[in-house]
Structure 1
Amino acid sequence: MEEKLVLYIDIHRLHERKLRISQIARQLKVSRNTVYKYLNMTFEEAVEEFGTIERKKKLDPYRDWVVNWLQENPSMSGAQMLDWLQEKFPTIEVGESTVRRYVNEMREIYQIEKTAEPREYEAVVEQPPGKQMQVDWGQTIQKTTQKKEVKLYFIAFVLAHSRQKYMEWQDRPFTTRDTIRCHENAFRYFEGMPEEIVYDQDNLIAVSENAGDLILTKEFQQYVNERKFKIYLCRKADPESKGKIENVVKYVKKNFAIHRVFSTIEDWNEKAWKWLERTGNFKVHQTTKKRPFEVFLLEKQHLRKTSSTLSFSESNPTEIITRNVNKDNTIRFESNRYSVPIGTYTKCPQVKLQINGQQLIIVESTSGEILAKHTISLEKGRLIKNPNHARDRSRTIDTLKQHVLTLFPSTEESRQFTEEICHTYGRYRRDQLLLLQKVAEENPEWISTALKKCMREKLYSANAFRDIVDYLKRQQPEPILDILVDSTKSVSIPVETRDLKAYVQRMGGKVNE
């Protein structure tokens, strides 16, 4: 705590020079409350408090992360620091006040100044449950993983009574059809719809407004006619009418989006929905002093249930959305994964999605061929898979097995050997057969000998077969003939003979001519 003792001495030194509190705080880059606190302490009290061995704090194991985030993002609040810590370390258990004090202490020690950005609140009449929802759009500019910048767009929804929130992001501007699709997703998320929805005067939904007479866009008017909810359009320069959603938009920007790095829009939406569960709808609201998700459990009982399909959209499907195909031959849509036929990733890495009511149609980008159709799931984090899209693994393994047998001698032993391997290794039989194929193709002259040895010693393994082939190659420069190994066959082998005189001379005798 030596730094705090030094700070204590500097504050008193400047105070003796008749500097004002604000001047001292500005020069030392600390808060005025810190200056008052240190001026009210004697030197002995400072030594007693700061000169002792520093106590370990609960957040000390995360100190490097906290300091690094503050240095990269000086305006970061204690609330966002808590959210980032919970995202990085899901098992952490710490209160927001503890994080706030720790952040302030790190700012003092490392002289990281924060620009004050006070948040304003509007005093409005509270709405009864199920009565009203407010909607607004926003946009941000984010850094990407490639150190570039990208503009992102989002639409936010909030139930006026419980403050339960929902949002969706896009990497392109919203259209009317996007807006309708997101409304449907919000109704599914809230498990119902309110009586009235409050909007700004946005050209996505309204053409004009004249003394209360609304002229909506054609598509949105069709949507309102079917869903039968009331619309309230705010007047210009009238933020009080939609103060709740204004605060939500700022909250999303300042707590979720700021300082966050963008990779893909699917990943960004996944993180946004997790943020809602972890922070946006979980933390106590500063006005109601209640957690939105707890109040929502009561409010959703007052929401009107919606039908699963829209009749007007059946003949007027929404526009095509582009998606990349994942390596596992799936695409992501609304936090779920949907299957496409095996081989799509290799042949067509990008597809287009067409949403027709509750049906998701996946189309090949260039030819327009329909690759798959799925019913859109109302759940999150699921894999929706068509069984016909799966690989026929049994046929593939049978084909591989037959190919391996063509590389071996056409005997009952070869068939028994491969069958035993497939039975023994079961789950890994494909790997075993591929290894047998590799060894047989590279060493055809040693197959027969190695196979006989494996069968004789009951070594039913591709690895053992490979090791025996390697051993035989080291022991014999040339392959051993089958006729020498099979003792059941009688063969006539010519034997070299020498003249008797050669042996006599070898023994030292005389040879008579």
Structure 2
Amino acid sequence: MEKWMVYYEIHRLRSEGFKNSSIAKKLKISRNRVIEYGRMSPDEFQKFILSLQQRGKKLDPYKDQILEWLKEHPDLSGAQVLDWLQEKLDVDSVSEGTVRNFVNGLRERHCIPKMSTERNYAVVPELPMGKQIQVDFGETRQLTTEGQYKRLYFIAFVLARSRYKYVEWLDRPFRTSDLIRMHENAFNYYGGITDEIAYDQDRLLAVSENAGDLILTADFTNYYQKRKFKIYLCRKADPESKGKIEQVVKYVKYNFAKNRTFDNLLDWQESSMKWLKRTGNYKVHHNTKKRPTEVYTLEKEHLRQVSGTYIFEDIYVSSITRQIHKDNVIRFEGNRYSVPVGTYRKDAPNIAYVEKNHEYICIRLQQNGHVLAKHQIANGKGNIISDPSHRKRNQTKRDKLIQQVEDLLQDPHAAKWLVEQLAVRYPRHLIDQLKIVQLVGQQYPEFLDIAVQELKRLKLTSANDLRDIAFSLALHSKKNNSKATSIVNEKYKNLIAPERKEDIYLQVLRGGDSK
């Protein structure tokens, strides 16, 4: 009966225009099951149900044992049951999915719900007034007035005691400079600063928590030292330490931003501030049972005044930031644009600034820095726009090899011709070809120039051919030398040198005539 209900729900939702993924989410079943049931007519589904009832299951012989395990340990998972079957009963011919489905069927027929261990939460005592601000980030995907979707980013602040909130938005990812600027705006909004500020672990603020010893980014370190507030970094998976701000982030997403249409950042921020005044800070808080704006009037007196002002550039700049990916591209409006190889660096922010006009985009590493890459804007989506110069590798090494090869040859024109020919025919393997030429010059230095001339005469363009020619020349030369030596030996083999008496040598030494 349950399967028939699922079958009818799938076909009903399909007739109303729902997609397979949406149906799967609504019915809490797999997408493959939606597709399988959706293809069947009622008669075919009836046959399918009968086949399920008639056919046996692989695990039927172990049913009693598995049922006993489940009754004794209701929190057993399918993966654990499979492990026990393998360990205790030597069952290794079934998959984890088969075991999981069999276990779920047993739970359903014998009313053995799976016991889940839940985390115990404790009420966190209220902090003193003026003690702490909690900060966190969020993002939403909004429909624009142009009918497209745009991702927006926001930072939320909340006074821990009064729950008084402040929110600021951007239409690009945050940088540390944005974080500092928005802190100043929040302090101005609150009329002061708390003793402590709590943050989630985030790369904009801390490089790592380092077991409690904070390693802050350089920009935030300067700001932190100037404002002299205590920093509290929340641990991972610890909602009790930052639960207030997490609720604020959800509140902003689902009460303010949900189903709202985005036109421009200025109007969006203005609407957000009005929402804070009208709802976010005025509505009675479900825990404190008080309006945040009323409690804030009391907490404001406990805030420490900030001295001095920071001067920042306008946050609503036209430049856009994008992440540099490890394959040295940035993604922009559905396409990928190249930057020079080596731009991406591991453990670095890898943020690029993109400026767009009607025809081109310019990519920089600094907002006002030199242009790293310039591309013509591509039409459509899913394209890769690559500058060939960005893909050149080991340029310095290649130039060095070319110079070394040219130094090996006595004829500069022949050297230039050889390098040009190898570069044209082997653009991707030029370095390998040059290394072979270099090796030929080391092994057969006296034949290298002649080998290049022969290579040119034979209209060949490979370093391997050059090596073979040089080898042949050396071999031929060796044979000729060996033959010449053999002829000389044959001609003079019977020749006997004349002998002289000792007194002749004495006369020569004394300067006398030896004749």
Q: Which band: TM-score by shorter chain?
A: 0.3 to 0.5
TM-score (norm 2): 0.38
**Larger Rg over CA atoms:** 2
